[in-house]
């Protein structure tokens, strides 16, 4: 096999992407499909699933709330019927959560953030691992954390707490599953262009009493490369982590962020 061939996934992988119909998840789903994988997604947005399936024939999907165990069970019914097994799980589901001082954060908002961002990782891992153990195609689990999983993030404590926890889960599962030749890594996206980041910037600007443009400039000044990353940048890293060239990468926490220096 030529060196350049080892840097992309082997065609035919069976891939599940959670929250895979919008944003980063959709970019990951499209990238794997373009690389010759068979892709199933889940998402809370039925219209987005239908739109993706229309735009990229061959991608299938299940409507589900990733934080609800019974919904996750239904997703794996879809995985079995559509893919017949699993080689790659990209556990991407997550929400921004509330922005505010710790004393002002509503307990229900805290719990919802942890449920979607962290509990979903547990629900999907526990269902996916038996299928990954049966894979003979270099099985991989990729957990989507955040730059907020390596840096403190004032006024976004629920989000940061959940994303740090994902890093701990990743490193623990890498040790647990390594003897079965299952690789487990985390991707930590930074400031990602798009509507979700626009909402985060607007909320933080309101909390700190700044204009949206001033807040956006503050974000850029924290990045060594002085630019946001794209969803496609994150998807490219996911593809590499599932390639033969990454066969000895596990337990790694990989930032795709232009080097965010602080938050």
Answer left, alpha or beta for residue 199, where phi above 0 means left and psi between -120 and 50 means alpha: alpha
Q: Are 2 and 236 in contact (CB under 8 A)?
A: no
Q: Are 46 and 21 in contact (CB under 8 A)?
A: no
**Cβ neighbours of 246 (radius 10 Å):** 21
Which residues of the chain register pLDDT less than 50? none
State residue 7's pLDDT score. Answer: 79
State residue 2's pLDDT score. Answer: 67
Task: Judge residue 245's burial from the number of C-beta atoms within 10 Å of its C-beta, 0-12 exposed, 13-18 middle, 19 or more buried.
Answer: middle
Q: Token digits for 145?
A: 């954390």
153, 159, 219, 262: which one is catalytic?
A: 159
Strands 253-256 and 183-189: parallel
Q: Give the C-alpha distances (Å, rounded to integers) separating 216 from 148, 197, 200, 203.
A: 17, 10, 10, 11
SS (H, E, C) the chain: CCHHHHHCCCCCCEEEEECCCCHHHHHHHHHHHHCCCEEEEEECCHHHHHHHHHHCCCCEEEECCCCCHHHHHHHHHHHHHHCCCCCEEEECCCCCCCCCCHHHCCHHHHHHHHHHHHHHHHHHHHHHHHHHHHCCCCCEEEEECCHHHCCCCCCCHHHHHHHHHHHHHHHHHHHHHHHHCCEEEEEEECCECCHHHHHHHHHHHHHHCCCHHHHHHHHHHCECCCCCECHHHHHHHHHHHCCHHHCCCCCCEEEECCCECCC
Domain 3-190+230-256 belongs to what topology? Rossmann fold (3.40.50)
CA 66 to chain centre: 12
- Is residue 159 part of the annotated active site? The answer reads yes
State residue 4's pLDDT score. Answer: 65
State residue 1's pLDDT score. Answer: 60
Q: Give the C-alpha distances (Å, rounded to integers) separating 67 from 4, 64, 96, 124, 205.
A: 38, 9, 14, 9, 29
Q: What is the pLDDT of residues 100-116, one digit of tens each?
A: 999 999 999 999 999 99
Q: Token digits for 140?
A: 């991989």
**Cβ neighbours of 113 (radius 10 Å):** 25
The residue extents of the domains of the chain are 3-190+230-256
Task: Judge residue 232's burial from the number of C-beta atoms within 10 Å of its C-beta, 0-12 exposed, 13-18 middle, 19 or more buried.
Answer: middle
State residue 118's pLDDT score. Answer: 98
Q: Are 95 and 117 in contact (CB under 8 A)?
A: yes
State residue 254's pLDDT score. Answer: 98
């Amino acid at each position: 096999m030529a060196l350049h061939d080892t840097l992309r996934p082997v065609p035919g992988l069976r891939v599940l992407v959670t929250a895979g119909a919008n944003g980063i998840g959709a970019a990951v789903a499209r990238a794997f499909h373009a690389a010759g994988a068979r892709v199933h997604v889940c998402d809370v947005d039925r219209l987005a699933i239908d739109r993706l399936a229309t735009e990229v024939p061959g991608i299938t999907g299940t409507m589900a709330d990733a934080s609800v165990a019974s919904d996750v069970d239904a997703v794996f019914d879809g995985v079995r019927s559509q893919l017949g097994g699993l080689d790659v799980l990209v556990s991407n589901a997550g929400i921004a959560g509330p922005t505010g001082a710790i004393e002002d954060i509503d307990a229900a908002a805290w719990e919802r953030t942890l449920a979607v961002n962290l509990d979903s990782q547990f629900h999907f891992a526990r269902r996916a691992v038996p299928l990954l153990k049966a894979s003979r195609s270099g099985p991989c689990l990729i957990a989507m954390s955040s730059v907020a999983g390596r840096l403190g993030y004032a006024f976004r404590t629920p989000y940061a707490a959940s994303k740090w926890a994902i890093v701990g889960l990743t490193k623990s599962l890498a040790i647990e599953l390594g003897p079965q030749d299952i690789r487990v890594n985390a991707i930590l996206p930074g400031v990602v262009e798009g509507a979700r980041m626009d909402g985060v910037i607007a909320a933080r600007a309101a909390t700190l009493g700044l204009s949206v443009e001033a807040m956006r400039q503050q974000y850029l000044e924290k990045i060594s490369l002085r630019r946001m990353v794209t969803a496609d940048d994150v998807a490219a890293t996911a593809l590499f982590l599932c390639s033969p060239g990454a066969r000895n990468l596990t337990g790694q926490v990989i930032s795709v962020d232009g080097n965010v220096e602080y938050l």
